[in-house]
Amino acid sequence: MILKLITQIARILVGALFIFSGFVKLVDPIGSQYKFQEYFSVIKINFGYTIPDFLQKYFGSVVLEFDFLIPYALPFAVLLIVAEILLGVMILIGYKSKFTVWSLFILTLVFLFLTWYSAYYNKVTDCGCFGDAIKLSTWETFYKNVILIVLIIILLIKIEFVKPIFKGKIPKVITFLSLGVFLFITQHVLTHLPLIDFRAYAIGKNISEGMEYQDDGEIPPVHDFMLEDEQADLAPELLNKEKVMLVIIYDLEKVDVNGLPAIKKVTTKAMAKGYTVYGVSASFTDDLLLAKDKYNLPFNFLFCDETTLKTMIRANPGVIILDKGTVVEKKNWIDVEALEL
């Protein structure tokens, strides 16, 4: 009886954690894409020590790198996110218990390795396990995964106690309905913007206030925020102005050019209504000038760090409207016609 109770508690904890962890990433899969790109760019596994000494002088060390996966970071992220939250649902309702528990075990082993690698080598300081909703240190995340895998091992040992909570085909129906909902949410947020914005540039947040240091001495949530032209940083000036529109193009080579006509239209309208309009990018000035002429864009560009721009808005291009430093609106280019100027 006690073992059954422990198993059910483990089942609830594992399911709830996977659903929560998956959900906070499901509403912002682009953030997970960026995190996997970071992982793929830094992870290098050296197998040199596994090669016999007499062969090392001929072959040297063998290093396995993962940077070839960077272009596939988004589908990889979406697959893992949907799998994570769906498995959380499946373990709670008891659908295909053996498959579910073993899948959770394998997935957690992958996360365990990634978080150990991050903590031990200090390569990725934020694992992104809970998206931008909750920030844990690398070692805190690793120990969390250690506890999680212990709970899953309990489920593996007592798999016979993980039974469906509904009879008949109801667990199957719930699973496939959940999958449909998760895929719809993914498509929606990739087309538009995250359903929930946990970042310091969310609508209603004041960027100037986000740059202030608190008494605890921690780095403020908004840092490296500069809007530079050839002479100076215009951020202090723009953060004190009303009616400021920033067009974010974090990387000109990756911009969706289909959105530039819509950007031209909305910025022309905004300028006619008294808005101060700037493009903001991390691309080279010469390339931006060529793009401005090619697409007849009516605004000048300022420079900002690429990571900061990716944090500000999950769009390329996207539009942010500020009122004395407060974010009052954010739109992907596909939705800019809905802006109330």
Which domain, by its residues, includes 35?
A: 2-191
What span, in angstroms and rounded, lies between the C-alpha atoms of 141 and 122?
13
pLDDT digits (tens, 9 = 90+) for 305-330: 999 999 999 999 999 999 999 999 99
Strand spans (E) along the chain: 44-46, 63-65, 244-249, 276-281, 300-303, 318-323, 326-332
Q: At what angle do helices 97-121 and 138-157 cross, to 10 degrees?
A: 160
What pLDDT is attached to residue 16?
95
Q: What are the residue ranges in the chain where pLDDT is below 50?
A: 49-51, 59
Q: Is 233 helix (H, G, I), strand (E, B) or coil?
A: strand
Name the maximum alpha-carbon separation found in the chain. Answer: 75
Q: Is there a single domain that holds both residue 180 and residue 247?
A: no
Pairing of strands 44-46, 63-65: antiparallel
What pLDDT is attached to residue 174?
95
What span, in angstroms and rounded, lies between the C-alpha atoms of 62 and 50?
9
What pLDDT is attached to residue 50?
46
Determine the distance from the C-alpha atom of residue 138 to the mean position of all C-alpha atoms in its chain, rounded to a whole number.
17
What's the whole-model pTM score? 0.86
Q: Is there a single domain that holds both residue 99 and residue 22?
A: yes
Q: Is there a single domain that holds both residue 161 and residue 230?
A: no
Q: How many domains does the chain have?
A: 2
Query: Within a domain: residue 152?
Result: yes
H or E element at residue 7: helix 2-26
Query: Within a domain: residue 120?
Result: yes
Which residues on adjacent β-strands are paired with residue 333?
none
98, burial (CB in 10 Å: exposed 0-12, middle 13-18, buried 19+): exposed
191, 222, 242 - which closes a domain: 191
Q: Is there a single domain that holds both residue 9 and residue 35?
A: yes
Query: Within a domain: residue 202?
Result: no
Query: Within a domain: residue 176?
Result: yes
Q: Is there a single domain that holds both residue 217 and residue 185?
A: no
What pLDDT is attached to residue 62?
57
What pLDDT is attached to residue 137?
78
Question: Any residues with CB less than 8 A from the CB of 29 and at least 6 apart, and which?
Answer: 74, 77, 78, 81, 186, 189, 190
**Cβ–Cβ under 8 Å, residues 139 and 126:** no
What pLDDT is attached to residue 96?
92
Query: Within a domain: residue 200?
Result: no
What pLDDT is attached to residue 300?
95
Query: Within a domain: residue 76?
Result: yes
Query: Phi, psi (5° rounding) for residue 336?
Result: -65, -25
